[in-house]
Amino acid sequence: MIPVQGVENQVVAVLGLGRSGRTAAAALAAGGAQVIAWDDGTDTRAAAEAEGLRIVDLTRDEGWQGVTALITSPGIAHLYPRPHPVIARAYALGVPVDNDIGLFFRSYATAGWDAFDRPPRVIAVTGSNGKSTTTALIHHILAEAGRPTQMGGNIGTGVLSLDPATDGEVVVLELSSYQTDLARALTPDVAVLTNISPDHLDRHAGLGGYFAAKRRLFAEGGPDRAVIGVDEAEGLYLAGQMAMGPADDRVIRISSGQKLDRAAWSVFARKGFLAEYRKGRQAASIDLRAVPGLPGAHNHQNACAAYAACRAVGLAPREIEAAFHSFAGLPHRSQLVAEIGGVRFVNDSKATNVDAAAKALQAFSRIRWIAGGLGKEGGIAALAPHLGQVTKAYLIGHSARDFALQIGQTPHDIAETMEAAVTRAAAEAEPGDTVLLAPAAASFDQYPNFEKRGEHFTALVEALARG
C-alpha cells in the first residue's frame, strides 16, 4: 500500500465504498488522516462499518465539520450530467474534491528515492479503445526485459494498493476518462493516448468534454514523453499542442495505417509491419503478422503505443520484439479461445460499441459473427462497410431483431441466446472460418458485465473442444 502524504491529522471524507474507495480510505489512514466515509448503499455502508470505517452522513451539513478534502470514486458523477449531491455540497462548502489517482501522484515519490540508483517512473495510458491491452503489453514487455514493474489503475490493482517504489521500477497505469477528469495531480513520466472515439458522452457532456478529460493527462503534468495516436483529429491536435516544433522528440506520434516519417520521433504500423522513425530515418522494424497475441490493425496500433512507451524508458527494439511474441493477449479482447477442426473461436466480448466491433471485424476473414445484446444509441448501421468478411451473423439478446434490420443482405440467424449462437455457428463453420464474438452492444440484458458474457462464450467453446 502507498500511504497518502500530506494528510496527517486532517479529517478526510471518502465517498463511495467500492474497491477504490475502501483502498483510498486505508491509504489515507496509513498517512495519518482521520477518515470518515459515506456510500449511498445501506448494505455497503454496513459492511464498511463492520470493517472499522467511521460512517458519517455527508448528505447533512453537520457531517462536514472539519473536513479538509473529499475523495470520490471514479464511477460517481462530479459534474455531468449533474454532480452527486455529496460532491455538490463539497463544492458549495469550498472543500477540495479529488480521487485515488490524484492521491497516488502526490504520494508515490518519497524521500527514500534519494538512495535509489535509478528513479522509479510512471507510464500512464488512456484512450477510447485498446488502453487495457496497451497497458498489459507494456507491463509484459518490461517484465520480460527484467525491469521491476507493477500494473494498476483501471486494470488490475487499485493505484493505492500498489507496493511502494523500488529502485528503477516502472509503474504502468491504465486511466479512464473518469479518473483523469477529476484527479488534482497528474504527473506521469510517460503519457500515452491510444485513440479517441465517442464514449461516455453523457458523463462528459459531449465529445469535447470527453477529449478534454483525456487531454488533462498531458496538459496538467507535462510528461517527459508523450506518446500520442494521431489517426484522429483530436490526437493530431494534442500532438501539435505538446510539441515545441517539428524537431521536438518529446512527442512520439503513433499510427496504424499512416506512414509517419517526417516527425522527430514516430512509430507506425502498415501492412503488418511496425516501423520506428527518428529524425527522418528508420531506426527499427518488426513483423507483427507472426505475433499471435496481437491480431489485426487495432492491436497493431496497441503494439505501436506499447513499443513507443517502452522505448521512452530505455528499452531496446530487440527486447520489445522478443516480448511481443510471448504476449498472450487479454481475456475478452481478441482472445483466441480454441481452434477446433480448423475453425478459430475468438472472444472479443469487450467490443461493446461500434468502433471496437469494427476493429474486430477487420482483424479476421471468413467470419461467423456473434453479435447483439443491449444495443447502444445509433445501432450498428455504421458497421456496414466492415461486413464484407462476414459469412453469417448469429444475433443474440435484446437487440437481435433490430440488428438484423441494420446489416443489409448479410446472412443471419436470430439465435437469441449465446448457447444457440455458438452451437449453430460451430455446426455451420468450415475450416478456415473464425467464429467471432464481437457484440457491438452492452451485456446487461443477459449478463452482469462483458466479462461474464465472454466467460460464457469461452465455456461453451471449451465444451465443444472436449467433444
Q: In what order do the strands lie in the sheet with 190-193?
A: 149-153, 170-174, 121-126, 190-193, 225-229, 251-256, 265-270, 273-278, 281-287
365 in a labelled binding site: no
Cα–Cα distance, 461 to 467 (Å, whole number): 10
> Is 353 annotated as belonging to a binding site?
no
DSSP state of 420: H
Cell readout for 107 is 504520494
Q: Would the annotation count 44 as a binding residue? A: no
Q: Is 20 annotated as a binding residue?
A: no
127 is in an annotated binding site: yes
Instruction: Concatenate the DSSP letters of all residues of 310-335 into one string.
Output: HHHTT--HHHHHHHHHT----TTSSE
The type of residue at 89 is R
Helix axes 296-312, 317-325, angle to 10 degrees: 140
- The grid coordinates listed for 75 are 464511477
* Start-to-end CA span in the chain (Å): 46
73 known member of a binding site: no
| Strand-strand pairing, 335-340 and 343-347 | antiparallel
Location of C-alpha cell 464481437: 438
**206: helix, coil or strand?**
coil
**Read out DSSP for 123-179?**
EEEE-SSSHHHHHHHHHHHHHHTT--EEEEESSSB-GGGSPPP-TT-EEEEE--HHH
- Please report, in range form, the residues annotated as the binding site: 127-133
- Please report, in range form, the residues annotated as the binding site for ATP: 127-133
